[in-house]
Structure 1
């Protein structure tokens, strides 16, 4: 379980002209400078009611500062030999194509067998980097590309680039329902008010923007390409559900499988047996945190999504839409 953190204070006359991260380190000495910087970059720090997300911003005396965030439970992870699909690796970063079923961080119910355990085995020195170099997450059953920092310097640059929306993350998904055109969802996401393991669109949530376009239309489903501006928990799944197009197989936001009329027994069987959200991180583009070279990677959709797409095409051929 994470712990809610709500801190309030006021900058003193001796702190006038200090950088925000330095001043906060003095005000809240129980927390590391690394964690304080993460709070700032994530938008968790407000000064006089406004979000301050740049560590170098200078502070003035009598300004009121607040920190509102969650402190994750500290988990000590051990190195474990777990197969990783490594797409790219150098001295500073590692790009993997994550398989379905692999949890990113150890936590309640998943103490081992996670990506973090695998990283500690593959690159032992990564234990010196906060969170074993993980700078962004994919849900357990979401597949696709993730970048991992192998050094503190690389992680610092990647976290800053992520917050500045300088890292492009493109996803492929299969949604229920026929969508005629692309668009964007601009709706804040926060913890569900009653279901604590769920997220929801909520006015008090954090800003979240998802762009989507239609890649392929089927008679009762749509294959989408999506791009994130923000990176909230379950963002694509929540936003698609919010506009009435739940992802196929989503066990949290989907409910029972929706079966199209006149579907063949074979197609019904495919839909019923697709037990995870049909979501894959297909493309990743970023500036290398050390060399500054622009780099891009793609990962083909996994076999289960490819087979689902074939079944959708066959169902559409057997039941053409009459216009």
Structure 2
């Protein structure tokens, strides 16, 4: 059971309770209906209704009762925890690790390790992934600890309120900074590979070259949208595929995966207005590549 408390400020006085929970606090319409129907919302200690009008100084208490069963086996997998609070856990995922169990990867996933961590620390949580990374992409993954936190974080991602920065080592010499604004989609329904296609979804990637030589470049990338394989597709399309990316580029002698790392996330705390900034240093295999190309 999660107990969440909100204080009504002057700016929110006069708003309906349901609108406050939905538009200011990130609750879904479905969850609001559930908690109000089951008498799980209180204003100043009294059961509240969805159409109650808020006053400055009101204390809103929300009780969320969840089914916290999940078919993910805890496994003692070391986790590189970058940040944790009452609502989220941020982990630096190593390369070659799947984030969630699938038919072909039933164990050894990030979710198995997170479930073990929740069990060991006596946190009655299930694994709710807010963002995902490809198996071969390393870096920061956010796990929400409740349905409320998951919805709030998902809304931040949807509204482009989470700053997502990556580092990539790409083929060839790139220079300066710029924006790639090109739509992406599958060329066919059974295709794993994506491509730039006129009828696709809009995808925006901002880039800035950190250092480069005639062989490779280290590039910082800021995602404004979050399409599948977006960075890999965009960089390949402009003639600078990520080093080691065999799907969109070429095999590398120095790294056996795409040299892509989700290194920075900035987001607002689920409860409160303070910002959280998480960073994960480049993994050893990418540092080794930079050394091989004299870009360390």
**Aligned 1:141-290 pairs, distance under 5 A:** 141-193=136-188, 196-257=191-252, 272-290=253-271
Displacement of 1:195 = 5.9
Moved over 3 A (4+): none
- TM-score, reference length from structure 2: 0.72
Distance in structure 2 (CA, Å) of the matches to 1:199 and 1:161: 25
Larger helix fraction of residues: 1
SS in 1 for 2:125: helix
RMSD: 2.4
Contact 1:251 1:275 (8 Å CA) reproduced? no
Q: CA separation of 1:203/1:108 partners in 2, compared to 1, >3 Å: closer, same or farther?
A: farther
Distance in structure 2 (CA, Å) of the matches to 1:183 and 1:273: 28
Which residue in 1 is equivalent to 2:135?
A: 140
- TM-score, reference length from structure 1: 0.66
**Structure 1 unmatched runs, 5+:** 1-18, 20-31, 35-74, 258-271, 316-323
Distance in structure 1 (CA, Å) of the matches to 2:261 and 2:152: 25
SS in 1 for 2:211: strand
**Structure 2 unmatched runs, 5+:** 1-18, 20-28, 32-69
Displacement of 1:193 = 2.1
Displacement of 1:251 = 2.4
SS in 2 for 1:296: strand
Q: 2:288 aligns with which of 307, 316, 323?
A: 307
Which residue in 1 is equivalent to 2:103?
A: 108
Contact 2:254 2:289 (8 Å CA) reproduced? no
Q: Deviations over 1:186-209 (max 9, x none)?
A: 112222327622222222322211
Q: Deviations over 1:82-133 (max 9, x none)?
A: 2110011122111111101111122231122211222222114322xxxx22
